[in-house]
Structure 1
Amino acid sequence: MIKLIAIDLDGTLLKDDKTISEKNIKTLQAAKQQGVKVVLCTGRPLNSVLPHLETLGLVEEGDFAVTFNGGLIQRNDTGEILSKVLLTKADIENIYQLSQELVFPLDVVSGPKVLKIQPQPTSNPSWYHKLNPLLNFVDVELSELPNDTEFNKAVCAISEEKIDELLPKVPAEYHEQYSIVRSGKAIFEFMPKGVSKADGLRRLGDLLGIQPEEMMALGDEENDQAMIRFVGLGVVMENGTAELKKDAQYITATNEEDGVALAVEKFVLADKEA
């Protein structure tokens, strides 16, 4: 029996216009009313997720979110942080050095703010502010970073073609030091080693007493792969990547066709009714 549904946002729950369909809203609310935990599991920071949590009615006691690709677990009603894994200032300096060598822009998410590490290459300007307009962006020189700042993740957001070209050039030593994932066609991210949506779900499951086999996860991109493999029922969107579909136990309709709702109806609500 499914006790927890973990749902990615972009390309999964959200339509291409970044809204949630009425069918998805009603279906997830029905699952919650039947006692199932509905958990948004995203690479985004919490402040860019809050409007969607409110839309879904997931801001009550007992509601949780997994953000920063598993780096942070938080109570939605109070904002209390239950678990977090961070990068250090030395990590940011190391990753920035790579960004200079490979000529890509670097944005660092630090709680509610995004630090646009300067200088950035004029030939490859960052797209991150366009992809996440709700976030607060601040230009910061690398030398100005304080030692006591919390760094959640480092992000490169540029064109799909440039990321296709850049990612294979990232040295093996960086993959050994960090979890590096592509979270969208125009984004790849550096996170603390071992951090993933699966790791976040494991830690949340330990807190709630819910086993992986009692979880269902829905996603569409590379950063969803770990959780799709981790849970008892991994569902991939029809618009998901070909690589991710290899790990799917079920492929649902696209994000434009209420794929989340259809899968929840099939595997959660129908099971509860039975």
Structure 2
Amino acid sequence: MIKLIAIDLDGTLLTNDKTISERNQVILKKAKEQGVKVVLCTGRPLNSVVGHLETLGLNDEGDYAVTFNGGLIQRNDTGEIVAKEVMSYEDAKTLYELTYPLGLPLDVVQGSTVMTVQPEPEENQSLYYTLNPLLNYVDTNLAELKEKSDFNKMVCTLEPAIIEEKMPLIPASYHEHYNIVRSGEYIFEFLPKKVSKAYGLKLLGELLNIKPEEMMALGDEENDLAMIEYVGLGVAMANGSQQIKEAAQYVTLTNEEDGVAHAVEKFVLA
């Protein structure tokens, strides 16, 4: 019996125009009415998905979200942080020293603030603001970052062809120290090594006394892979990557065809 549904946003729950279809809204509200926990699992901070939580009626006491790709678990009604894993100034320094010579811009994310580390590579400016326009963007440098702490994640956002060229150049030692994942066509992220959406669901499941086999997860990209493999029922979107489809137990319709509603109706409401 499914007691918790974990849902990615972009390319999964959201249509290409970044909205939630009426059918997805109806079916997810029915699932919640039946006592199923509906949990948005996203790389974004909570404040940038508040509108989607309100649309789905997921802002009541007892509603939770997994944000920053598993680095943060929060209560939707109060924003209270239940669990978190963060990165340090030393991580920012290490990753800037990796990315800048590769011609990659580095954005350091702290809550709803995105700090673009200067100088940026002249040939590749960060495109992060085009993906998450609701966040607060500021320019910074390593000296200014040293005065801050507790960063949620660090990202490189640029044209897909450049990502595909540059990501393979990251030495294996960095993969051993960080969880480096592609979270969209234009973005890849550096996270604390143990952080993933599966890690976030593990902690939330322990809090709610819900076992992995009682969870269903839906996703489309590499950063969804861990949770697809962790839960009892992993569902890939038809528009998802081949890697996700091969790992999932079921492939639903696309994000433009109410694929989330189709799977929830099939496996949960039935």
Aligned twin of 2:14: 14
Matches of 1:97 and 1:77 in 2, distance apart? Answer: 39
2:46 matches 1:46:
yes
Q: Deviations over 1:155-209 (max 9, x none)?
A: 0000100000011000111101100000001100000011000000000000000
Unmatched tracts of structure 2, length 5 or more: none
2:90 matches 1:90:
yes
Matches of 1:147 and 1:207 in 2, distance apart? Answer: 34
List aligned pairs for 1:121-136, cutoff 5 A.
121-136=121-136
Q: Deviations over 1:11-38 (max 9, x none)?
A: 0000000000000001000000000000
Q: Match of 2:168, as an amino acid?
A: P
Contact 1:70 1:195 (C-alpha < 8 Å) held by counterparts: yes
List aligned pairs for 1:166-205, cutoff 5 A.
166-205=166-205
Matches of 1:246 and 1:99 in 2, distance apart? Answer: 31
List aligned pairs for 1:227-246, cutoff 5 A.
227-246=227-246
Structure 1 residue 146 displacement after superposition: 3.7
Partner SS, residue 102 of structure 1: coil
Matches of 2:111 and 2:184 in 1, distance apart? Answer: 21
Partner SS, residue 11 of structure 2: coil
Q: Deviations over 1:66-96 (max 9, x none)?
A: 0000000000001110000000100000000
Aligned twin of 2:37: 37
Q: Deviations over 1:215-257 (max 9, x none)?
A: 0000000000000000000000000001111111000000000
Q: Deviations over 1:118-166 (max 9, x none)?
A: 1111200111000100101011111111444220000000010000001
Contact 1:111 1:150 (C-alpha < 8 Å) held by counterparts: no
2:70 matches 1:56:
no
Matches of 1:142 and 1:101 in 2, distance apart? Answer: 15
Contact 1:87 1:152 (C-alpha < 8 Å) held by counterparts: yes
Partner SS, residue 101 of structure 1: coil
Matches of 1:148 and 1:9 in 2, distance apart? Answer: 29
Identity of aligned residues (%): 66
After TM superposition, the structure 1 stretch with the greater mean CA deviation from structure 2, 140-149 or 88-97, is: 140-149
Aligned twin of 1:164: 164
Matches of 2:146 and 2:180 in 1, distance apart? Answer: 24
Matches of 1:146 and 1:27 in 2, distance apart? Answer: 46
Aligned twin of 1:119: 119
Total equivalences in the alignment: 270
List aligned pairs for 1:190-229, cutoff 5 A.
190-229=190-229
Matches of 2:23 and 2:100 in 1, distance apart? Answer: 45
List aligned pairs for 1:246-257, cutoff 5 A.
246-257=246-257
List aligned pairs for 1:98-113, cutoff 5 A.
98-113=98-113
Matches of 1:129 and 1:114 in 2, distance apart? Answer: 9
Root-mean-square deviation (CA, aligned residues, Å) is 0.7
Matches of 2:243 and 2:147 in 1, distance apart? Answer: 39
Q: Match of 1:156, as an amino acid?
A: C
Matches of 1:248 and 1:144 in 2, distance apart? Answer: 43
Matches of 1:214 and 1:247 in 2, distance apart? Answer: 18
Q: Normalising by the residue count of structure 2, what TM-score does the alignment of the two structures yield? A: 0.99
2:68 matches 1:68:
yes
Contact 1:198 1:227 (C-alpha < 8 Å) held by counterparts: yes
Matches of 1:219 and 1:168 in 2, distance apart? Answer: 24
Partner SS, residue 204 of structure 1: helix
After TM superposition, the structure 1 stretch with the greater mean CA deviation from structure 2, 108-117 or 146-155, is: 146-155
Matches of 1:164 and 1:220 in 2, distance apart? Answer: 18
